[in-house]
Structure 1
Amino acid sequence: MVKIYLDPGHGGSDSGASANGMHEKDIVLDIGLRIRDMLRNEYEGVEIRMSRTTDRSVTLAQRTSDANSWGADYFVSIHVNAFNGSARGYEDFIHNSLSDSSQTARYRDIMHEEITKVNDLVNRGKKKANFHVLRETRMSAILTENGFIDNAQDAAKLRDPNWLERVARGHVNGIARAFNLTRRSNSGGGGSNGGGNGNGDLYRVIVDGTQEGAYRMRQNILDAVDRNLDSANEVIIRRVD
């Protein structure tokens, strides 16, 4: 059993980076929940734990202590960036004490490749830093920075549910490849769809007039509805002919 710890950054009183009417804490929680749902629904032999599943405050020490005590095999911290309004793109980090030939670096190489295949962002490269969540975790750890919230071009993507789905898919593809996860027999795979619903049909989930995603697995459809039920005025499930 592979144990994956997902860490949507910030939360609660800590909004993270904020710009263009959005908060980092909300975006990364959305991505994290999508990653969780895809892994649970599509792969066997994987357990997922999250530092938070709602908008609540969690300290850095609580995040790493929880992952360490749980015995996670991989720690994935999800963030979005901000700088000066002109900086753009995707980058990821491992701890600066690690060599490029370390196991953590090899995992990161796979994650970087899979995420940049699908995120349509400027590739800012693979980097190292002394961040708490990279330093204090006992397992391999990565921190991903998925675009700049204060850049107009990146922000347009960050508010698009379909783009968030692709980013989550990139993370999932990387995790599955790095840990050689086995796909469930009823999971159709491919693209942003989540497997089978018994008849193989594809369903679009449309939230307030915007497509949130397209899924084949019943649970993915229900999870998409659940993610948006409290905040949406209208949620439509439409079978694709």
Structure 2
Amino acid sequence: MFKLYLDPGHGGNDPGASGHGLEEKDITLDIALRIRRLLNGYENVSVKMSRTDDNFISLDQRTNEANDWDADYFLSIHCNAFNGSAHGYEDYIHDSLSDASITKRYQEIIHHEVNDLNRLTDRGQKKADFHVLRESIMPALLTENGFIDNAGDAAKMKDPSWRQKVAEGHVNGLMKAFKLKPKIAPINNQTLYKVIAGAFKNKDNAEHRVNYLDVIEIKAFVDPTYISGELWYRVQAGAFEKKDNAEDQVKRLKKHGIKAFIITDT
């Protein structure tokens, strides 16, 4: 089992960097949630996130939790800022590590894969004494995904399809670095029909829905996702290769007074 501790930078009363109507804490959370969702398609992967919503989590809490969980890898997602003119992507490992270290090797692999998809200037692989790199006892990487105060980079950050590509780059790097194996995909890459049994702004309401569905023997989970730039907590109650099966699930939910709908994923 590969255990990834996934850390969206900042959160809550710590917005991080800002610019062009964006806050770093929102961009990092969106990218991290997309990474987690993509990793659901791989075998024997367990992901623990430092936060899944807009909460403040101290740096000590993040590294202590990762260490106590005995994670295999610590991945921290950030955006950069400088003076509005700097732009591009860079990533960091701790400055005490040699270029022959396994952490450096992981950095090289992930750096290449992220840069292959993010359409940002490559600012290189770097080292620094950041807390999450120093205090985590497992190999760790911090990625800086563009400069939020740069007009060009910020325009990309506002695009959900760009954030998806950044997430894909990270996952491609993790797959190659840790030899992750994809789960068996639907035949001929056919559409997957997901049943959504509610979408809530309040996480507690979403969890209450999941608990109710458990009582009526319908398995479900909370899937945080950004919709039109806002964080929502969707309750997913099944994913089916056949649309008829998804529609049957919707009908079953309707009998219990729950409005549901189908979204597609390929």
Provide TM-score, normalisation by structure 2: 0.73
CA deviations on 1:107-130 (whole Å, 9 max, x unpaired) are 000000000000000000000000
- The answer as to whether partners of 2:42 and 2:182 remain within 8 angstroms in 1 is yes
Match of 1:37 in 2: 37
Matches within 5 A, 1:80-99: 80-99=79-98
SS at match of 2:226: helix
**Equivalents in 2 of 1:149, 1:91: separation in Å?**
13
Aligned to 1:72: 71
- Report Cα offsets for 1:31-63 as digits up to 9, x if no partner: 0000001001x1001100000000000000000
2:21 maps to what in 1?
A: 21
Shift of 1:152: 0.4
One-letter amino acid matched to 1:66: E
Rounded to whole Å, the distance in 2 between the matches of 1:237 and 1:153 is 35
Matched letter for residue 146 of structure 2: G
Change (3 A) 1:239 1:184: closer
Q: Percent identity?
A: 57
Question: Which amino acid in structure 2 is aligned with residue 79 of structure 1?
Answer: H
Q: Which runs of 5+ in 1 are unaligned?
A: 189-194, 204-221
Change (3 A) 1:202 1:120: farther
Higher Cα Rg: structure 1 or 2?
A: 2
Q: How does 1:190-229 map to 2 (within 5 A)?
A: 200-201=190-191, 226-228=225-227
After superposition, the CA RMSD in angstroms is: 2.4
Q: Which amino acid aligns with 1:38?
A: L
Opposite residue 116 of structure 1, the aligned amino acid is: N
Q: How many Å separate the matches in 2 of 1:153 and 1:48?
A: 32
In structure 2, C-alpha distance between the alignment counterparts of 1:67 and 1:106, rounded to whole Å: 21
- Structure 2 distance, partners of 1:27, 1:108, is 21
Instruction: Go from structure 1 to structure 2 and tell me whether the alpha carbon gap of 1:104 and 1:56 turns closer, same or farther (over 3 Å shift).
Output: same
Q: Which amino acid aligns with 2:28?
A: V
* Matched letter for residue 19 of structure 1: G
| Paired position in structure 2 for 1:157 | 156
**Structure 2 unaligned spans of 5+:** 194-221, 232-260
Residue 8 to residue 238, structure 1, CA distance change in 2 (3 Å): closer
Match of 1:58, SS state, is coil
Change in 2 beyond 3 A, CA 1:58/1:238: closer
Q: Using the alignment, how far apart are the partners of 2:264 and 2:22 within structure 1?
A: 31
Moved more, 116-125 or 179-188: 179-188
How far has the Cα of 1:228 moved from its partner? 2.0
1:187 & 1:144 partners in 2: Cα distance? 32
- SS state of the match for residue 152, structure 2? helix
Say if 1:15 and 1:180 are closer, same or farther in 2 by CA, change over 3 A: same
Partner SS for 1:144:
strand
Partner of 2:121: 122
Deviation of the 1:201 alpha carbon: 3.2
Q: 3-state SS of the aligned residue for 1:13?
A: coil
Q: Distance in 1 between matches of 2:16 and 2:174?
A: 25
TM-score by length of 1: 0.81
- Give the SS at the match of 2:120: coil
Shift of 1:161: 0.2
Q: How many residues align?
A: 208
Instruction: After TM superposition, give the deviation of residue 237 of structure 1 in Å.
Output: 7.7
- Once the two structures are TM-superposed, the CA of residue 238 in structure 1 deviates from its matched residue by 8.0
Aligned counterpart, 2:54: 55
Aligned residue in 2 for 1:212? none
State how far apart, in whole Å, the 1-side matches of 2:264 and 2:128 are.
46
